[in-house]
Chains A and B, each alone.
Chain A
Amino acid sequence: MTYTEIERQWTTRLRRRFVRLLPPEKLLPDTQPTYVSSWIYVFGVTTLAALAVVIASGCLLALRGPQWWHTSSVGHFVNSLHLWSVEIFFFAMVVHLWGKYFMAAWRGGRALTWMTGVVTFLTSIAAAFTGYVSQSNFDSQWISTQAKDGINATGAGAYFNVLNLGQMLMWHIVLLPLAAIVLTGLHVILVRVKGVVPPFEEPVKVSQ
C-alpha cells in the first residue's frame, strides 16, 4: 500500500509535530545511555506501578460503594490493599524525589519535568487527604474537624468544605485522581522527550 501525506492539513501538521517531538524510538527506547546504571532509576517506575495499584484497588472499592468496606470483610480487605498501596506510592515517590534532587535532574532543559513532579506530589497529598476524610469513620471525623481550621483560615474553606462528605468523596474519586493521572502522564512524557539527564561533567574533563 502506498501512503501519501496530505500537505497543508491540520491533522498532518499535528501528527508531524508529535512524531518530531516524540518519535517511537524515543517514546519506547530499547537502550539507555550507559550512565543509566543505578537502582535509584527504578523508583520513578515503581511510583508509576504503585499509582496503578492505588487506582486499581480504588476502583475495586468503588464497585460496591463507599459504605461497603465497613460492613464486609472482603471490602475491608480491599480497603487494606488501597491503604498499603498508597503507603508504597508515597514511599517510592519520596525516594524518587530525593534521587532526582541529588542528580540535579532538572539540568539540560528538564526544569518542567521537575516542576510537573512537584505538582504531582502536592496533588497526591491532596488526594490522600481527601481519602482520609472520606473514610466515614472515627479517623475521618477527627481529621476533617481539625483540618477545617487550616483550610478555613486561608479562605478556601468557604468553597472546599472538608466537613461535606459528598464533596470530599467526589474530589477523592474523580477530580484529584484525574489531575494526578494527567500530571503523571505529562511528567513521564517529558522524561521521554528529554531523555535521562547526563552526569555532571567533572572539572578535570571540562578543560576546553
Chain B
Amino acid sequence: MSKRFRPDVDVAPWKGGHSPYDIIKEGTIALVVVGLLTLILAVVFGSPDELAITIKTWSNATPLDFAATALSELNLTSGTAQYGAPYNNASTGQQLGPLQLAKWVGARIPINTVNDFVIDPLKSLPAQPDLSTGLKQWSSASSATRSHWVSSYTKASAKMTFVNGQVTVTASDVGPLPVLINNLTEMARSGALDQALVTQAGFYTTDFTLPLLFLADGSYLASLADHQHLTGDQWGMMNETGNYPGQAWLWLYTFWYQIPPFNASGNGDVLVWGLMMALSVVLLLVPFIPGLRSIPRKTRIYRVIWREHYQSVAKE
C-alpha cells in the first residue's frame, strides 16, 4: 500500500470471523416493539387537537383588536402591508448580507391589503344603503382623498369604542371610513368574512393565505400562542399545545432565535436560516472535515461499543 492509512477515512479489510445474525428476525421484532409502543402511547396520551380559531371568534372575543387590525390594512401599517416579497413591494424584506433573496424573487403571491382584506369582502355583502354609498364614495375618490380620510381616521382611532355591536370613532373628514370599518367588523363577527377571504378564488379552495395573514396581523392569535408558550422567544418552535412533546429536533434552530445577534436583528430569520443551512452542509460533509471526523476516534466511545471485539483482540 503506497497511500498512507488515514484512520478516520480508511479501514483495513476485516479478517476476523462471522457469526449468525438474523436481520429479518431483528426487523420483525423491531416492528412489533415499535407498533406496540405506538399503540400504548396513543391509548394512554392521545394527541392534541386545539380547535382552529376563526376571524369570527377573534372579532367576537376582541372586536376592537379586529377593528384596529382592519384599519392597519387600510393605512398600510399592518405586518402584511409592510411585508415586502412575496406579498408586495412595500419593503426590501430581510437580507443576508448583500443578498436580498426575497426581493429578488419578487411579489409572487401579490396581496393588496386594502382591497383583499377590506374593500373586496365588503363588496361581496348584500346591498345595504349606507354601505353601498360608502363603497361608491371610496371607489370614486382619488387616492389623495382616500389617504386623507384614512389618516384623519387613524389619528382619531385611539378613542375607538365598541358599544352595542357598533364600532364608533368620533372624527370629521373621514369619508366613508366609519361605515367601512364598522361593516367589516359586523361582517367578521357574523362569520361572513371568514368565507369571503377563502372564496375569492372561486368555489373550491384549499388556500388559506389571506385569512391566516389577516389573523396574524392582529394580536389575538399571538396572545393565545403566548399563553400556550408557542412564541418564537419562548423556544416555541419545538413546542406543542398542551403537555405533548413537540418538534424537539428543532432545538438548535429555535436556540439561535434566543441569542444575539439573531434575536435583535431585523434580518434574524434569514440569518438563522443561512446558519442552519450551513450547519446542515457541515453535518452532511462530516466524513470529509478534518477535526470533526476525528472526534469519534479521540473520544474513544467506540471502545465501549466494540468492547467484546477489543477484549478478544487483547487475548490473542
Contact = CB atoms under 8 A, between A and B. Distances in A.
* Contact between A and B in the complex (any CB pair below 8 Å): yes
Contacts of A202: 310, 313
B30 to A, nearest CB: 4
B34 A53 contact: yes
B141 interface: no
Contacts of A46: 30, 33-34
Main secondary structure of the interface of B (DSSP, over half): helix
Contacts of A122: 280
B38 A53 contact: yes
What size tier do the contact residues of chain B reach? 35 or more
A87 B37 CA distance: 11
A12 interface: no
Given A57-B38, A155-B102, A158-B105, A79 B49 contact: yes
Given A84-B41, A205-B313, A69 B248 contact: no
Main secondary structure of the interface of A (DSSP, over half): helix
Interface in B281-316: 283-288, 293, 295-297, 299, 301-302, 305-306, 308-310, 312-313
Interface of A: 28-38, 40, 42, 45-46, 48-50, 52-53, 57, 69-70, 76-77, 79-85, 87-88, 90, 92, 94, 99, 101-104, 106-108, 110-111, 114-115, 118-119, 122, 125, 128-129, 132, 135-147, 149-155, 157-159, 161, 163-167, 169, 195, 197-202, 205-206
9 nearest A-B residue pairs (beta carbon): A166-B206, A108-B11, A106-B287, A80-B42, A155-B101, A153-B270, A158-B108, A32-B21, A158-B86
19 contacts: A34-B308, A35-B14, A37-B308, A48-B30, A49-B27, A80-B42, A84-B37, A88-B37, A88-B41, A114-B286, A122-B280, A125-B250, A138-B51, A138-B224, A145-B216, A153-B93, A155-B104, A158-B108, A201-B7
